[in-house]
Structure 1
Amino acid sequence: MSAAAVPNTHFAPALLDWYDRHGRKQLPWQTPRTPYRVWLSEIMLQQTQVATVIGYFRRFVDTLPDLPALAAAPVDQVLGLWSGLGYYSRARNLHKAAKLCVERHGGELPHDFDALAALPGIGRSTAGAILAQAFGQRRAILDGNVKRVLSRYHGVDGWPGATATARTLWQHAEDNTPDARVADYTQAIMDLGATLCVRSRPRCGVCPVSGGCIALRERRTAELPARKPAKTSPTRATCMLILRDDAGRVLLQRRPSTGVWAELWSLPEASDVDAAEHTARRAGARIDHARTLDSFVHVFSHYRLAVTPLLARAVPLPRAADGDGLRWYTADEYTQLGLPAPVRRLLQSLPD
């Protein structure tokens, strides 16, 4: 393997040649490659791997096949289709952006970069990916995979999330993006980062641009890109109330419009049994035969949530709740809602 640097003018041709032979060309959002499908895939692929996204993508487009259908759908349906993918702000922003496209852009994604990037959930890189893949515009991208490729290839020090490092990487991204076959190049550089230039044990021996890679030449692939400075994650504790009536219905509560799990349906949370009793009374019931289930920890990006489930029988049969977003749902009903993944797993694990 040559240690001589390959000029940047060789980067895109070498990558495209590799893509022609080894790239992924039959992903569901590529056949057909419409602006709506590209957009949906780009949002789903933020923070989520391709293998996980494929099934969610297919279910989503089977139910909501185009942008007007998404805009017209109830938010609960959108969150229900998204449930399990995590980072639910992506789904809420997707829904809001679709509505704005109907209101302002004739029911289509705008072709203009600034108008597209102004939509909720679409930043600079996502806008570039949509315009490059759906409309063939020469636009650079800088998602997590591309940051890793460019950090190593160009030997860029510093955490990619830092402003100065990101500015340098964007310049490299702009310089390397070719004038032709931009859609293929965009997919190729994402594929390279996802399949060869991975975080641990990159497959440098079969990388099409390894000859010019500074990290490989200097034996720094393990340290580039630099990791985010470590922070200690705090732990928060909560009690989740699982209140069931004799008909098997469960009391759920709509979460606030901001914060963790915003607008999803979840189990009411309480600090202790007395607070749980108060919640039950607001829903027209009282707690009987309460018992705690096994505690568990759910890890978020910025903190850990220690959950103690409290399973209780609702007596007498509850009336419909009037306030605080409280509502009783059957199992058939709540499985169709947008539920946080740990709450869905907890409900699925309940004893009969």
Structure 2
Amino acid sequence: MLRPIAPPLLQWFQANKRLLPFRQEPSAYHIWVSEIMLQQTRVAAAIPYYNRFIEALPDPAALAACEPDALRKLWQGLGYYNRVNNMQKAARIVCEQYGGDLPADYDALRALPGIGDYTAGAIASIAFGIPAPAVDGNVLRVFARLYNDDADVMQPATKRLFTQRVLDQMPKATPGPYNEALMELGALICVPGTPHCEGCPLSGLCQGYAAGRQASLPVKPAPKAKMPVPVTVALVQSPAGILLQRRPNKGLLAGLWQPAAWERELSKQELSAALEKIGVQVQWEQALPPARHVFTHKIWQLSGWRGIAEACSLPEGWVWAAPEELENLYAVPNAYAAYLRK
């Protein structure tokens, strides 16, 4: 058992919390948008995207009605586009079933597309004061150290145990500030690797710190090796713009636009033949420099050629994108950023 952590934790949080835009107006919608963005993005990097997103889509009704290409363009740069696709699906359910406001109910939030245990707990506790835990990687790390627990935090049984510990320590009157304080402690003090125990309000209670084991916790399995995948890119420019193709509506980077590309190794001649099938005759100018992009489960190893062509009519799913359209209309994955800048 551990003595109550909430009093010193909340006192520290009140004095040290960052002034973040979604804390200034902590509505359920603002918390939802911020938490989805922060799943794979650092706070400092996410803030400009958050501000732009909220300005363009201030409520669930605006999100539900947004044209998909415009929505992906707003999200461009954050990656993991399935997150924003699920947000739009959820926003439409919120408008159809809950009058345009996120429901003040943990189970109802949890049932929405793209909202898992953590996000439902964050919205429920911060926006509505519901005593629900919000356990992410930061919180798992804090509790592994607090309890000097070397169980594998990626195992479902460990997550359930830690979630119960979070709930046991939760002050029922202030669940939102408590959850936020834990997240903040993990982000600023109880960081991965070597934590800043000298500035931690819980160091006197922390069993991992007392045992000198804080830097070796939490315990996680070694990451799986990522599969390398060759990708051949054709960066083709005409007087009408850059040649883009839309990716399939399902799977990796669903529905986004990209330069002509194939997930296999093609010679220059094979690349020409593939483009001739859509009516594009290319005069190649130079090889593209090799590049790589790391996904969760694989690594794209990119290469290819840059060339010019005459503008021509294109089949469905292909466009010539003028520079201003590339800037404002077509969402292109970060994997191709270096090539498009070129």
TM superposition score category, shorter chain reference: over 0.9
Matches within 5 A, 1:238-277: 238-247=231-240, 249-270=241-262, 271-272=265-266, 273-277=268-272
CA contact (8 A) 2:8 2:202 kept: yes
Q: Which of 149, 154, 170 is equivalent to 2:147?
A: 154
CA distance in 2, matches of 1:160, 1:309: 41
Q: Give the Å deviation of 1:259.
A: 2.4
Kindly, what percent of the aligned residue pairs are identical?
37
- 3-state SS of the aligned residue for 2:320? strand
**SS state at 2:282 partner:** strand
Residues paired across the two proteins, number: 338
Deviates more, 1:55-64 or 1:285-294: 285-294
Aligned to 2:12: 18
Residue of structure 2 in register with 1:230 after alignment = 223
Whole-angstrom CA distance in 2 between matches of 1:309 and 1:173: 51
**C-alpha distance in 2 between matches for 1:298 and 1:109:** 36
C-alpha distance in 2 between matches for 1:86 and 1:228: 25
Give the structure 2 partner of residue 118 of structure 1: 111
For 2:207, the equivalent position in structure 1 comes to 214
Residue 318 of structure 2: aligned partner:
326
Query: What is the aligned counterpart of 2:276 among 281, 284, 297?
Result: 281
CA contact (8 A) 1:257 1:263 kept: yes
Residues 231-279 of structure 1: per-residue CA shift (max 9 Å, x gap): 22221111011111134x1111111223221221112213413443344
Q: CA deviation at 1:28?
A: 0.4
1:131–1:137 Cα contact (<8 Å) kept: yes
| Matched residue SS, 2:275 | helix
Query: For the residues of structure 1 that align with 2:322 and 2:278, how far apart are their CA atoms?
Result: 15
Superposed displacement of residue 150, structure 1: 0.9
- The normalised TM-score by structure 2 is 0.94
- Cα distance, 1:290 vs. partner? 4.3
Say if 1:196 and 1:172 are closer, same or farther in 2 by CA, change over 3 A: same
Distance in 1 between the 2:54 and 2:37 partners? 12
3-state SS of the aligned residue for 1:138? coil
Partner of 1:304: 299
Unaligned runs of 5+ in 1: none
Please tell me the residue identity of whatever aligns with 1:291.
Answer: Q
Inter-partner Cα distance in structure 2 for 1:290 and 1:300: 30
Does structure 1 residue 175 correspond to structure 2 residue 176? no
Which amino acid is the alignment partner of residue 301 of structure 2? A
Q: By how many angstroms is 1:285 displaced?
A: 1.7
The AA in structure 2 aligned to 1:281 is: E
Residue 293 (structure 1) shift: 1.2
Residue-by-residue CA offset, 1:57-106 (whole Å, 9 max, x unaligned): 00111111111111111111111111111221111111111112112221
Secondary structure (helix, strand or coil) at the match of 1:165 reads helix
Q: State TM-score, norm by structure 1.
A: 0.91
Q: Note if contact 1:149-1:193 (Cα within 8 Å) is conserved in structure 2.
A: yes
Provide closer, same or farther for how the CA distance between residues 317 and 338 of structure 1 changes in structure 2, counting only shifts above 3 A: closer
Q: Distance in 1 between matches of 2:76 and 2:153?
A: 29
Asked if 1:42 corresponds to 2:35, the answer is: yes
The correspondence for 1:56, drawn from 49, 52, 60, is 49
CA distance in 1, matches of 2:223, 2:56: 41
Distance 2:115 2:147 in 1: 27
Answer with 337-346 or 30-39: which moved more. 337-346
User: Does structure 1 retain, via aligned residues, the 8 Å contact 2:233–2:305?
Assistant: yes
Conserved? CA contact 1:268–1:279, under 8 Å:
no
Farther off after superposition, 55-64 or 337-346: 337-346
Query: Higher mean Cα deviation, 84-93 or 338-347?
Result: 338-347
Question: 2:98 is matched with which residue: 105, 110, 113?
Answer: 105
Letter of the structure 2 residue corresponding to residue 98 of structure 1: A
- Which residue of structure 1 aligns with residue 130 of structure 2? 137
Q: Is the 8 A contact 1:156 1:165 kept in 2?
A: no
Of 200, 205, 209, which aligns to 2:198?
A: 205
1:12–1:176 Cα contact (<8 Å) kept: yes
Q: Relative to structure 1, is the Cα distance of residues 164 and 6 closer, same or farther in structure 2, using a 3 angstrom cutoff?
A: closer
Q: Tell me, yes or no, if the aligned pair for 1:283 and 1:318 is still in contact at 8 Å.
A: no
RMSD over equivalenced CA pairs, Å: 1.6
Q: Could you tell me which runs of 5 or more consecutive residues in structure 2 were left unpaired when the two chains were aligned.
A: none
